[in-house]
């Protein structure tokens, strides 16, 4: 099992295309503005991320009626994968996915421990951090679950964060998303078109978008909302069971909603009638959970590392800020006065912010101080090595990475940081050796494939370069560029018979999928 980098060691076609379908089936908590951020969502991201008003800056999410047994739905696993990958491509394309290995690994350390006890429908879960300030989380087709940076920062303990993640896992395991998508495929074109128009208006104009969405939902509002509330209640109940089995405190879920209730006041929560909200109001939600759900006994499990949670929040705070200089001043003031919950987390954030500002020597002083008190912490060791490379001291950087590899020989996070550094500044063949084992374990990670392709290219291994770049494009929903990479690879005269067979087989698979999706695949024989 991978070790969290922040922790100690313990791992007939539809009338809609996939792009539009995926925009409407995001299961999410009501986003609430976080005072720590002032950056609004981009218009495109609002369109993609779900149309859910509680805060004035977002529009309303679309929920659809239950169609019964998902096994009888006209919706296949290939379509689910297509929608999930396409949505992820859009999120990455617009910079919404936070490309931070440590934060994403931390989320996965929590999510995977919970998902172990859920029905995974044959598809592994992937958890990722979203670069957004709203208090929000969402589930996508193909078992992708996103957590906004704002939500992590709003929580006060790991059990609350786990409660949100468990809720989203329950949406997936209970087939809520698949049922909604299948029903969308049965909708009439005018209603579907109206929903798309409402989404577009929501991105361009808050008032107009909200009015359009309310009007669109009016035809089947009561049925939709009843289904939604039933889904939410089921996700709460199942989520609490999953939390208990995974060793988290189930009260974290109700505590989260209770604090959200206290935070939400004023006029924002009253702008949209409750009957048209896709989620019950938080004040009702917290009471409902406490009254309706019997808190299950918690399975005894090894205690989790509290520092990992504190360091994750510190890291998210730095990476999500729009004003690094102001953050540095705030951190200096807090450290000087001692007004912090965790000195370690505060000093770690300070070190990260200093490095972002190019103050490498000052950052090194903070990391050295942290290492003296916690010398085996992976996050601190990686930061020390990265700082050495940033200062131009490659010998020190490689030494620190190698020493850390002796402690964490199979760790994915270390392999990514060390591998990326080696691919660009050091030994690309060693980078390939470090990253290659993880290709089999992390077949859903485009960043891993991109890093491996970079190392392969610098090593002169063209077959591996084109093969892994093809997978990178495929995982981003870009089938035509994936086909082009495989075709380029087949033009290499130095291919071994085995390499050629593998490239041709993969090309055949992706071409068939692209044709089935109606993409303009060039009608030419493979090289």
How close are the terminal C-alpha atoms of the chain, in Å?
Answer: 41
pLDDT, mean of residues 123-136: 89
Distances from the Cα of 255 to the Cα of 205, 229, 284, 383, 435, angstroms? 34, 19, 13, 34, 40
Q: Are strands 27-28 and 137-140 parallel, antiparallel or unpaired?
A: antiparallel
Q: At 265, is the pLDDT very low, low, confident or very high (cuts 50, 70, 90)?
A: low
Residues near 189 by beta carbon (within 8 Å), at least 6 away in sequence: 15
Q: Where are the alpha helices (DSSP H) in 321-425?
A: 324-337, 343-356, 360-373, 378-390, 394-407, 412-425
**Who has greater pLDDT, 218 or 242?**
242
Residues near 207 by beta carbon (within 8 Å), at least 6 away in sequence: none
**Who has greater pLDDT, 434 or 51?**
434
Place of tokens 């922040």: 6
Superfamily (CATH) of domain 327-516:
Tetratricopeptide repeat domain (1.25.40.10)
Q: Rounded distance, CA 265 to CA 274, Å?
A: 15
**Per-residue confidence (pLDDT) for residue 81, from 0 to 100:** 81
Residue 383 has pLDDT above 80, yes or no: yes
Helix, strand, coil percentages, rounded to 5, for the chain = 65, 5, 30
Least confident of 77-91, 107-121, 225-239, 429-443: 225-239
Contact 203, 209 (CB under 8 A): yes
Phi, psi of 479 (to 5 degrees): -75, -40
Rounded to 10 degrees, the C-alpha dihedral 29/32/36/38 comes to: 120
pLDDT in tens, 85-109: 888 888 888 888 998 999 999 999 9
Q: Of 295, 299, 154, 178, nearest to 237 (Cα)? A: 295
- DSSP class of residue 97 equals B
**Per-residue confidence (pLDDT) for residue 257, from 0 to 100:** 82
pLDDT in tens, 396-425: 999 999 999 999 999 999 999 999 999 999
Domain ranges of the chain: 18-185+218-292, 327-516
Contact 313, 152 (CB under 8 A): yes
pTM comes to 0.80
Print burial letters for 464-490: b (CB count within 10 Å at least 16), e (below 16): bbbbbbbbbbbbbbbbeebbbbbbbbb
**Per-residue confidence (pLDDT) for residue 32, from 0 to 100:** 53
Q: Rounded distance, CA 482 to CA 306, Å?
A: 42
pLDDT in tens, 492-515: 999 999 999 999 999 999 999 999
- DSSP class of residue 520 equals -
Q: At 283, is the pLDDT very low, low, confident or very high (cuts 50, 70, 90)?
A: low
Residue 432 has pLDDT above 90, yes or no: yes
Q: At 34, is the pLDDT very low, low, confident or very high (cuts 50, 70, 90)?
A: very low
Distance of CA 93 to the CA centre of its chain: 14
Asked whether the CA dihedral 174, 23, 105, 432 is positive or negative, the reply is positive
pLDDT, mean of residues 464-477: 94
Question: Which pair of structure tokens corresponds to residue 49?
Answer: 């991320």
Other C-beta atoms closer than 10 Å to the C-beta of 416 total: 23
Q: Is residue 277 left, alpha or beta, with left meaning phi > 0 and alpha meaning psi from -120 to 50?
A: beta
Residues near 234 by beta carbon (within 8 Å), at least 6 away in sequence: 170, 174, 176
Q: Of 468, 507, 500, 472, nearest to 486 (Cα)? A: 507
Q: Rounded distance, CA 20 to CA 24, Å?
A: 7
DSSP 297-339: PPPP-PPP-HHHHHHHHHHHHHHH-S-HHHHHHHHHHHHHHT-
């Amino acid at each position: 099992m991978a070790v969290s980098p922040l922790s100690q060691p313990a791992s007939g076609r539809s009338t809609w295309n996939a792009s539009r379908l995926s925009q409407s089936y995001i299961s999410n908590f009501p986003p609430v503005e976080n005072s720590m951020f002032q950056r609004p969502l981009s218009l495109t991201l609002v369109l993609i991320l779900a149309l859910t008003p509680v805060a004035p800056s977002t529009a309303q999410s679309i929920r659809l009626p239950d169609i019964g047994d998902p096994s009888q739905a006209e919706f296949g696993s290939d379509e689910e994968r297509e929608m999930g990958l396409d949505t992820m491509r859009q999120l990455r394309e617009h910079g919404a996915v936070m490309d931070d290995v440590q934060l994403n690994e931390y989320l996965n350390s929590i999510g995977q421990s919970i998902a172990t006890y859920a029905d995974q429908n044959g598809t592994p879960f992937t958890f990722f951090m979203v670069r957004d300030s709203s208090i929000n989380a969402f589930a996508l087709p193909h078992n992708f679950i996103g957590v906004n940076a704002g939500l992590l920062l709003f929580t006060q303990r790991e059990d609350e964060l786990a409660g949100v993640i468990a809720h989203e896992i329950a949406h997936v395991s209970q087939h809520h998303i698949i049922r909604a998508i299948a029903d969308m495929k049965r909708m009439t074109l005018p209603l579907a078109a109206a929903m798309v128009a409402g989404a577009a208006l929501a991105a361009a104009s808050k008032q107009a978008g909200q009015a359009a969405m309310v009007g669109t939902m009016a035809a089947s509002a009561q049925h939709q909302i009843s289904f939604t509330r039933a889904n939410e209640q089921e996700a709460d109940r199942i989520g609490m069971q999953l939390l208990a089995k995974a060793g988290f405190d189930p009260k974290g879920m109700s505590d989260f909603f209770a604090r959200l209730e206290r935070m939400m006041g004023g006029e924002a929560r009253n702008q949209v009638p409750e009957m048209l909200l896709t989620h019950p109001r938080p004040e009702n939600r917290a009471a409902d959970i406490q009254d309706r759900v019997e808190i299950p006994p918690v399975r005894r499990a090894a205690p989790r590392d509290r520092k990992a949670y504190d360091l994750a929040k510190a890291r998210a705070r730095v990476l999500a800020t729009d004003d690094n200089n102001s953050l540095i001043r705030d951190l200096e003031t807090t450290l000087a006065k001692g007004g912090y919950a965790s000195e370690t987390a505060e000093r770690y954030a300070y070190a990260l912010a200093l490095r972002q500002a190019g103050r490498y020597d000052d950052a090194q002083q903070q990391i050295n101080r942290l290492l003296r008190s916690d010398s085996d912490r992976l996050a601190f060791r990686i930061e020390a090595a990265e700082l050495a490379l940033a200062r131009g001291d490659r010998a020190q950087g490689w030494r620190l990475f190698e020493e850390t590899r002796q402690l964490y020989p199979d760790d994915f996070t270390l392999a990514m940081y060390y591998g990326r550094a080696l691919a660009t500044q050091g030994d690309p063949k060693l980078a390939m050796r470090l990253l290659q084992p993880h290709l089999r374990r992390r077949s859903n990670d485009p960043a891993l494939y991109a890093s491996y392709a970079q190392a392969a290219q610098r090593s002169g291994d063209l077959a591996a370069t084109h093969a892994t770049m093809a997978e990178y494009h495929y995982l981003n929903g870009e089938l035509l560029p994936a086909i082009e990479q495989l075709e380029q690879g087949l033009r290499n005269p130095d291919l071994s018979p085995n390499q050629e067979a593998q490239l041709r087989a993969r090309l055949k698979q992706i071409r068939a999928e692209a044709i089935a999706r109606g993409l303009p695949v060039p009608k030419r024989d493979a090289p």
